[in-house]
Amino acid sequence: MSLVKAISDLGLRQAGIRIASTQNLLPDEELPQMGDAPVGMVTAGTYSVAAKRPANAVFLAAWNRQ
């Protein structure tokens, strides 16, 4: 979260500089606490807990039982 805040504080978005990163820069569980700082950042990865698919629901249920 510190890196996201630093990127925001530097004004990179306002300067037209876009940030691209792996998905771990913006973890799903931390996004609500980040405010507008990550707006405009682009991340990519292979998994999201927010996915609305039956297979993901089954996986999350099994994960949460542990």
6 three-state secondary structure: helix
Threshold 0.75, pTM exceeds: no
Task: State the pLDDT at residue 1.
Answer: 77
Tell me what pLDDT residue 17 has. 93
Q: Where are the domains of the chain?
A: 2-65
CB 27 within 8 A of CB 43: no
CA-closest candidate to residue 42, choices 62, 28, 21, 25: 21
- Cα torsion for 36, 30, 32, 47, to the nearest 10°? 100
Q: Tell me, what's the pLDDT at 27?
A: 86
Q: What does each of the 66 residues of the chain score in pLDDT, given as a tens digit?
A: 789 999 999 999 899 999 999 999 998 888 889 999 998 899 998 888 878 899 999 999 999 998
